[in-house]
Structure 1
Amino acid sequence: MALIDFLISIFGATMLLLFAVRLVQNSIERIKGPEFRRLLTQTRSPYRASIAGFFLAILLQSSAAVAVLTSGFSIGGALSAATGLAIILGADLGSAFVVQMLSLDLHWLAPILLGVGGWLYLKFNTRNIRQFGRILLGIALIIVALGMLRATIEPLQSSELLPAIEAFLAADPVLAFFVGAVLAFIMHSSVASILMFGVAVSAGALSLEVGVVLVLGANLGGALVPMWITRSMPVEARHAVYLNVLLRGVTAALFATLYAKSLLWFLPIAQLGIIGTHLGFNLLLLLYLPFVSLFANLMIKLLPEKPQADSTERSMLERSLLDEQALKSPSLSLISLRREVVRITQLNEQLCREVLGWFISGSQPNATLLRHDSQLVHNAGQAVRQFVTRIPSKQMSKTDFKRMRDLADYALSLEAAADILVQRLLGVIETCQKEKLNFSESGAKELQSVAEQLLQNMTKSYDLLVNEDTESARELFRDKDELGALVGRSRKRHLMRLKDGLETSVATSELHLECLSALKELNAQTVSNAYPILKREGQLLQSRLILEG
């Protein structure tokens, strides 16, 4: 019975720790997500890149999250493999610094953070204030979870179970190394696993020798997490992640071997304790920074990028997925319709990234290709309307009929979004190019921020089309309002610049306001699939979102 109680307690404390780490990470991503891309992709020096990764990992409480972001930004060449590796090395050090801070005895701080965080989350409607409240709640829950782990493990000092396991691991350092790697990988968090090892050692349930080997293994396991998450991404997105696994894994295995053979050799570092050893190990890995370009070139030779089959991929994307044979069955018709709407979102995403790339990075859009893709969206929307009229809707359940109607409505919204992109925003870009006009520095940054937020909302919206998660729909609804507020602030600042007589603002005033209006409307059309989900779940009033209690 005591063993069952222990397993239940350790499971509950571990899950709370993982939940708290994820809560902090998600909340920070929601507040500063668009800025992360700008921070990472505009950094070229490996040393500056590692500093950016260091602070980003502290914010996100996870080096794996930074590695996944880096992989995503590497697609299309926005981020080189060398810079990506430098970012990840810095992020691993930042994650180790987070572990160092959280390992301190901060039990007195938990009630304060819970009180302040809960008050901010419950009493304010402003999105960023509420998210900051969630961050404070997450940090408080991490402290609480560590306390639960400590209280669960401490009584085991006098038991026979853990000393037996400890003796078994001490006799086989290779096994201990792989146990640490597997636990970190299963938990999907090196921060949580190393904190757990630190608690076990500090409570006397594990020896320092075994703890160090477990931590070294956890460094490998933590590096494997982003490799697993990015396994379906293009090859160029995985170069930096694979390099990190190789460098970290080989170095950790070497240290574990040396440590097992000669405790005296490793004693100066081991005296720092479990957490200090982890921090020192990641600090030592920064010695690889001067050689990131060399490592990246070798990795690219080992794993060359696959030749882009643009014509084949585009040809497949241009083919309708509406199946005439599916019309014989209402359920098959709905599946076919959903697949076609997903295809339209892919076409629309290409349009968005091509046009909004001009506002974000100054890349020149291909107007001919954009107009071609816009026509494809219109053709697909028309085909969807014709297909829906032929579906045997009388044989459908009420739920399926509503979903069919919602999918058809979203296809209409995507058509409207394509019009905004090509007729309005592309028109502004062409006018600026033709008349050689430039937005003011402040105005350009404001438009960049709006465009980045819109792209983030677009990604969430298209994910929502597949998962139909109510909480994600609520968050997307809030993001829509946040973008509207961002547009409103930009309008006010623009008018202030006009009042001050800023020459560039006067020259591009009409274009700036047109862009803001178009971007706001484009966002509304893109995220419109959140409405039926919220309405279906009773989460919408007639005029506004129901506030959480």
Structure 2
Amino acid sequence: MGSLVLLDLMGGIALLLWGLHMVRSGILRAFGPDLRRFLGKALRNRFAAFGAGLGLTALLQSSTATGLITSSFTAEGLVNLVPALAIMLGANVGTTLIVQVLSFDIAAVAPVFFVIGVTAFRSGARSRIKDVGRVFIGLGLMLLALHILLTTLAPAENAPGVRIFLNAITGDPVLCILIGAVVTWAAHSSVATVLLIMSLAYSHFVSPYAAFALVLGANIGSALNPIFEGARRDNPASYRLPVGNMLNRLVGVLLVAPFLHPIVDVMLTWQPHLAKATATFHIAFNVLTAILFIGLLDGVARMLVRLLPDKAPETDPSRPRYLDESALETPSLALADAARETLRMGDLVEAMLRKVMDGMMTNDKSLVDQVSRMDDGVDGLDEAIKLYVTKLTRGSLDEREGHRAMEIIAFAINLEHIGDIVDKNLSELATKKIKRRFQFSPEGAGELSAFHKRIMDSLRIAFGVFMSGDVNEARWLVAEKAALRNFELAAIERHLDRLREGRLETIETTSLHLDVLRDLRRIHSHICSAAYPVLDAAGKLPATLQSEPDMNEISNPAHPVHALTRSPPQLDD
């Protein structure tokens, strides 16, 4: 009998946790980017931030999820610590609202939620409708789990062994707080723990005093997960927000725990129903803690900055800055982090392309030497981004998220190819020019500089297309590809004209000149790859793209260009 009760109890808890997971993941999948933007706008002052944290957590039913989103802002330096701490105060209150709602007997609504959820999930033409269906299914599972818990505990109420065991482990208030903290940390959900405590209290398995002490422990336990999972060990500053949230909880528990007996008496006088009294105590504790700390956040933030200073500037460019492993459970956040890291990789590639051309034009060997070291950073970031996104795709992604993941990997690969062309081709050409003390003709140097400028402009446009998905900018990139081909052919023709004239600088640098044009053109082809997924998703991708000339053909010794350079005309005296 006891083993069956325990098995049913564990099954009910597992179902409750899975329902919470479905609600949270459904909302994040459907509205994740919108919620992130909303939260970013709300971080202007502590009171707006408090309201945003409350509303967002009531929607997500998880203060941990809100904490991860907020931590991503603080870790990236996009928001001050004071409004971030205010968001967590609001999140602590928001997570109690669903408990308050579920303290009422609404289990009969579960079948309605199942019908709505399954209908939306199976018939939803758009991914967002399916995700909303997932939310309703999760709510139904939560209500069903609560019904199972109450049904399971009711017949066991008179079992003397179970009652003796629970009385033994919940007789000491300190032990109750520790048990509540450990259970909540293990379950990753204060909502599930408090609902379980309410079920135990309703069935008279624990005393009112023990129930309230367990709730205090649950509040501590919910603040543990962000410390262990949301912070980056290589960055002490990333611990500020979760440690500050834990500090608020601990101080609140230390202030309330000594007065728990009179609090229990007052609460039961006002609300005799023990389950509802437990839910009310849970929300009252978090509201009072928020009121206490909302005006003290400046001092708390200063203390946290002193205790957890910023890390020294990162000297290794190949080490990722934004790939947060804890965000992998939230695809929208993880994809945003991967996109930011890819953009940082693009910044390195842009710097390489600028330095190699400056070094070539000015014969500055030190600039060229920097390029090889920067390419090692590009290669390292490419590997890290691909590994991170691959880990993300092992989970459950919807169609939109899957496409975005592939876009990120594809763009990172193309950036890595650009880095290789700069390092292995353009750097070698620049080194050869510097070593032999060659100089381009003024016209030739002007053409290469103009060509290079258009490449740099296209690269910056590609960054914008990658991040925003702007269709007009993507179409401009594709159009620029054809225009640049014409520019290149005209530049080659002008170069050949100068070669026929027998100009010494042109004869000396003809191979360099044509090879630089070729490599810049190859780079531009990789840059334009950012446009194709955007145009394809918008249905604007041409059925047949203009065919690319074989750039290897120009580098072939049998090509007419090289035939001319092998046999330059004789110069007249």
- Whether the TM-score (by the shorter chain) exceeds 0.5 is yes
Alignment correspondent of 1:289:
294
1:256/1:431 CA distance change after superposition, 3 Å? closer
What letter matches 2:351 in structure 1? Answer: T
Offset of 1:149 from its aligned partner? 0.8
Tell me if structure 1 keeps the 8 A contact 2:414–2:529. no
Offset of 1:265 from its aligned partner? 6.8
Alignment partner of 1:306 is 2:311: yes
Tell me if structure 1 keeps the 8 A contact 2:166–2:206. yes
Offset of 1:413 from its aligned partner? 6.2
Offset of 1:79 from its aligned partner? 2.2
Alignment partner of 1:4 is 2:3: yes
Counterpart mapping for 1:243-254 below 5 A: 243-254=244-255
Counterpart mapping for 1:348-359 below 5 A: 350-353=341-344
Alignment correspondent of 1:275:
279
RMSD over aligned Cα, in angstroms? 4.1
1:269/1:511 CA distance change after superposition, 3 Å? farther
Deviating more after overlay: 37-46 vs 47-56: 37-46
Counterpart mapping for 1:90-489 below 5 A: 90-169=90-169, 171-233=171-233, 234-260=235-261, 264=265, 273-287=277-291, 288-308=293-313, 310-311=314-315, 313-314=316-317, 350-353=341-344, 367-368=350-351, 376=375, 380=379, 414-416=412-414, 427=457, 451=467
Structure 1 or 2, whichever has the larger Rg, is: 2
Alignment correspondent of 1:13:
12
Deviating more after overlay: 253-262 vs 414-423: 414-423
- Tell me, in whole angstroms, the C-alpha distance in 2 between the residues paired with 1:129 and 1:95: 25
Deviating more after overlay: 131-140 vs 99-108: 99-108
- Tell me, in whole angstroms, the C-alpha distance in 2 between the residues paired with 1:378 and 1:424: 25
Tell me if structure 1 keeps the 8 A contact 2:318–2:379. no
Offset of 1:166 from its aligned partner? 4.0
1:347/1:104 CA distance change after superposition, 3 Å? closer
1:300/1:144 CA distance change after superposition, 3 Å? same
Offset of 1:349 from its aligned partner? 5.6
- Tell me, in whole angstroms, the C-alpha distance in 1 between the residues paired with 2:377 and 2:82: 41
**Mind listing any 5+ residue stretches in structure 1 that lack a counterpart?**
318-345, 357-364, 385-408, 433-446, 453-486, 495-507, 526-549
- Tell me, in whole angstroms, the C-alpha distance in 1 between the residues paired with 2:257 and 2:353: 55
SS for the counterpart of 1:69 is helix
Alignment correspondent of 2:31:
32
SS for the counterpart of 1:290 is coil
1:76/1:411 CA distance change after superposition, 3 Å? closer
Q: For 1:230-269, what per-residue CA distance to the aligned partner results, in whole angstroms no more than 9, with x for missing partners? A: 2435222220110111110221133122214875577678
Offset of 1:99 from its aligned partner? 1.3
What letter matches 1:175 in structure 2? Answer: L
1:212/1:121 CA distance change after superposition, 3 Å? same
- Tell me, in whole angstroms, the C-alpha distance in 2 between the residues paired with 1:232 and 1:166: 38
- Tell me, in whole angstroms, the C-alpha distance in 1 between the residues paired with 2:478 and 2:289: 49
Tell me if structure 2 keeps the 8 A contact 1:157–1:163. yes
Counterpart mapping for 1:74-93 below 5 A: 74-93=74-93
1:49/1:353 CA distance change after superposition, 3 Å? farther
Tell me if structure 2 keeps the 8 A contact 1:24–1:138. yes
1:425/1:41 CA distance change after superposition, 3 Å? farther
Q: For 1:169-188, what per-residue CA distance to the aligned partner results, in whole angstroms no more than 9, with x for missing partners? A: 45311111111111111111
Tell me if structure 2 keeps the 8 A contact 1:348–1:414. no
TM-score normalised according to structure 2 size: 0.60
Tell me if structure 1 keeps the 8 A contact 2:339–2:467. no
Q: For 1:338-385, what per-residue CA distance to the aligned partner results, in whole angstroms no more than 9, with x for missing partners? A: xxxxxxxx99863425779xxxxxxxx99526867998389859x99x
Deviating more after overlay: 286-295 vs 169-178: 169-178
SS for the counterpart of 2:76 is helix
1:377/1:102 CA distance change after superposition, 3 Å? farther
What letter matches 1:30 in structure 2? Answer: R
Tell me if structure 1 keeps the 8 A contact 2:267–2:277. no
- Tell me, in whole angstroms, the C-alpha distance in 2 between the residues paired with 1:411 and 1:10: 44
1:125/1:419 CA distance change after superposition, 3 Å? farther
1:28/1:353 CA distance change after superposition, 3 Å? farther
What letter matches 2:467 in structure 1? Answer: A
Offset of 1:192 from its aligned partner? 0.4
- Tell me, in whole angstroms, the C-alpha distance in 1 between the residues paired with 2:479 and 2:92: 43
Q: For 1:176-204, what per-residue CA distance to the aligned partner results, in whole angstroms no more than 9, with x for missing partners? A: 11111111111111010001111111222
1:518/1:14 CA distance change after superposition, 3 Å? same
For this pair of structures, how many residues does the alignment match? 395
TM-score normalised according to structure 1 size: 0.63
Percent of aligned pairs sharing the same letter: 26
Alignment partner of 1:64 is 2:40: no
What letter matches 1:10 in structure 2? Answer: L
Offset of 1:74 from its aligned partner? 1.4
**Mind listing any 5+ residue stretches in structure 2 that lack a counterpart?**
321-336, 356-370, 384-406, 420-451, 481-527, 537-573
- Tell me, in whole angstroms, the C-alpha distance in 1 between the residues paired with 2:184 and 2:278: 15
